[in-house]
Protein backbone atom coordinates (compact mmCIF):
# COMPACT_ATOMS: atom_id res chain seq x y z
CA UNK A 1 0.00 0.00 0.00
CA UNK A 2 1.31 3.42 -0.98
CA UNK A 3 0.42 6.97 -0.02
CA UNK A 4 -0.38 8.54 -3.38
CA UNK A 5 -0.72 12.23 -4.20
CA UNK A 6 -2.91 12.33 -7.29
CA UNK A 7 -3.24 15.54 -9.30
CA UNK A 8 -6.40 15.47 -11.39
CA UNK A 9 -8.85 17.58 -13.29
CA UNK A 10 -11.85 17.50 -10.93
CA UNK A 11 -14.83 15.92 -12.62
CA UNK A 12 -12.77 14.08 -15.24
CA UNK A 13 -14.30 10.63 -15.84
CA UNK A 14 -10.96 9.00 -16.55
CA UNK A 15 -9.32 10.50 -13.47
CA UNK A 16 -12.21 9.14 -11.38
CA UNK A 17 -11.69 5.65 -12.86
CA UNK A 18 -7.94 5.91 -12.22
CA UNK A 19 -8.47 6.93 -8.59
CA UNK A 20 -10.93 4.07 -8.07
CA UNK A 21 -8.38 1.58 -9.41
CA UNK A 22 -5.71 2.88 -7.06
CA UNK A 23 -8.03 2.78 -4.04
CA UNK A 24 -9.25 -0.73 -4.96
CA UNK A 25 -5.60 -1.80 -4.90
CA UNK A 26 -5.40 -0.57 -1.31
CA UNK A 27 -3.54 2.70 -1.83
CA UNK A 28 -4.25 5.83 0.22
CA UNK A 29 -5.09 8.72 -2.06
CA UNK A 30 -4.78 12.44 -1.59
CA UNK A 31 -6.47 13.97 -4.63
CA UNK A 32 -5.56 17.52 -5.61
CA UNK A 33 -6.71 19.74 -8.43
CA UNK A 34 -4.19 20.00 -11.22
CA UNK A 35 -5.93 23.21 -12.26
CA UNK A 36 -5.61 25.14 -8.99
CA UNK A 37 -2.22 23.92 -7.79
CA UNK A 38 0.24 26.86 -7.71
CA UNK A 39 2.70 25.25 -10.14
CA UNK A 40 6.21 26.50 -10.74
CA UNK A 41 8.76 25.08 -13.15
CA UNK A 42 10.55 23.54 -10.17
CA UNK A 43 7.45 21.76 -8.81
CA UNK A 44 6.07 20.63 -12.18
CA UNK A 45 9.23 19.47 -13.98
CA UNK A 46 9.97 16.37 -11.81
CA UNK A 47 6.77 14.64 -12.98
CA UNK A 48 8.09 14.34 -16.53
CA UNK A 49 11.41 12.65 -15.80
CA UNK A 50 13.21 11.66 -18.99
CA UNK A 51 10.12 11.77 -21.21
CA UNK A 52 10.32 13.87 -24.37
CA UNK A 53 8.48 17.19 -24.12
CA UNK A 54 5.75 16.03 -26.51
CA UNK A 55 4.66 13.39 -23.95
CA UNK A 56 4.18 15.98 -21.21
CA UNK A 57 1.02 17.30 -22.84
CA UNK A 58 -2.65 16.36 -22.68
CA UNK A 59 -3.42 15.53 -26.30
CA UNK A 60 -7.12 16.25 -25.62
CA UNK A 61 -6.48 19.84 -24.51
CA UNK A 62 -8.43 22.31 -26.68
CA UNK A 63 -5.33 24.39 -27.51
CA UNK A 64 -3.51 21.28 -28.72
CA UNK A 65 -6.45 19.91 -30.70
CA UNK A 66 -6.86 23.29 -32.40
CA UNK A 67 -3.19 23.42 -33.37
CA UNK A 68 -2.51 26.55 -31.33
CA UNK A 69 0.03 24.65 -29.20
CA UNK A 70 2.30 22.13 -30.94
CA UNK A 71 4.23 20.18 -28.28
CA UNK A 72 6.81 18.83 -30.77
CA UNK A 73 7.99 22.39 -31.42
CA UNK A 74 8.60 23.38 -27.78
CA UNK A 75 11.64 23.57 -25.55
CA UNK A 76 11.34 22.33 -21.96
CA UNK A 77 11.28 25.91 -20.70
CA UNK A 78 8.54 27.03 -23.08
CA UNK A 79 6.49 23.88 -22.38
CA UNK A 80 6.61 24.49 -18.63
CA UNK A 81 5.74 28.17 -19.13
CA UNK A 82 2.67 27.25 -21.21
CA UNK A 83 1.52 24.53 -18.80
CA UNK A 84 1.85 26.78 -15.76
CA UNK A 85 -0.25 29.43 -17.52
CA UNK A 86 -2.79 26.86 -18.78
CA UNK A 87 -2.87 23.67 -16.67
CA UNK A 88 -5.36 22.05 -19.07
CA UNK A 89 -2.29 21.43 -21.24
CA UNK A 90 -0.74 19.12 -18.62
CA UNK A 91 -1.09 15.40 -19.27
CA UNK A 92 -3.05 13.76 -16.49
CA UNK A 93 -2.81 12.49 -13.91
CA UNK A 94 0.33 13.60 -12.14
CA UNK A 95 1.19 11.04 -9.46
CA UNK A 96 3.63 11.34 -6.58
CA UNK A 97 4.57 8.54 -4.20
CA UNK A 98 7.23 9.59 -1.70
CA UNK A 99 10.07 11.01 -3.84
CA UNK A 100 8.95 9.44 -7.12
CA UNK A 101 7.01 11.51 -9.66
CA UNK A 102 5.14 10.25 -12.74
CA UNK A 103 2.81 11.58 -15.43
CA UNK A 104 0.00 9.67 -17.10
CA UNK A 105 -1.77 6.45 -16.23
CA UNK A 106 -0.25 3.42 -17.92
CA UNK A 107 -1.72 0.48 -15.95
CA UNK A 108 1.28 -1.77 -16.61
CA UNK A 109 3.73 0.85 -15.37
CA UNK A 110 1.55 1.62 -12.33
CA UNK A 111 1.33 -2.12 -11.56
CA UNK A 112 5.11 -2.49 -11.71
CA UNK A 113 5.66 0.67 -9.65
CA UNK A 114 3.13 0.55 -6.78
CA UNK A 115 0.73 -2.22 -7.78
CA UNK A 116 -2.84 -2.36 -9.04
CA UNK A 117 -5.12 -5.38 -9.09
CA UNK A 118 -3.52 -8.06 -11.29
CA UNK A 119 -6.71 -10.19 -11.19
CA UNK A 120 -8.63 -7.43 -12.99
CA UNK A 121 -6.31 -5.99 -15.65
CA UNK A 122 -7.24 -2.65 -17.19
CA UNK A 123 -8.09 -3.02 -20.86
CA UNK A 124 -9.49 0.42 -21.68
CA UNK A 125 -7.62 3.62 -22.50
CA UNK A 126 -7.80 5.69 -19.32
CA UNK A 127 -5.79 8.65 -20.59
CA UNK A 128 -7.50 9.80 -23.76
CA UNK A 129 -10.61 11.83 -23.04
CA UNK A 130 -13.68 9.97 -24.33
CA UNK A 131 -15.60 13.20 -24.94
CA UNK A 132 -15.42 15.24 -28.11
CA UNK A 133 -15.93 18.59 -26.27
CA UNK A 134 -17.45 20.05 -29.41
CA UNK A 135 -20.97 20.47 -28.04
CA UNK A 136 -20.26 20.83 -24.33
CA UNK A 137 -16.72 21.23 -22.97
CA UNK A 138 -15.82 19.76 -19.59
CA UNK A 139 -15.86 22.24 -16.75
CA UNK A 140 -12.46 23.55 -15.73
CA UNK A 141 -12.99 23.98 -12.00
* DSSP sequence for 19-32: HHHHHHTT-EEEEE
Q: Strand pairing partners for 90?
A: 57
Give CA–CA dist 54/123, Å, rounded.
Answer: 24
Query: Which residues, 6 or more positions from 105, have their beta carbon under 8 angstroms from its beta carbon?
Result: 14, 18, 92, 93, 95, 126, 127
**Given 12, 79, 95, 110, the catalytic residue:** 12
Indicate if 12 belongs to the active site.
yes
The answer for 28, left when phi > 0, alpha when psi is -120 to 50, beta otherwise, is beta
The catalytic site residues sit at 12
Amino acid sequence: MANVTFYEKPGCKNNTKQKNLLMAAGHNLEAKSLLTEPWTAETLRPFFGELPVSLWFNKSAPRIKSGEVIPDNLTEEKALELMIADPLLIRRPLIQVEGVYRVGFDPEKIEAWIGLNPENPVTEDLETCPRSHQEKPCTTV
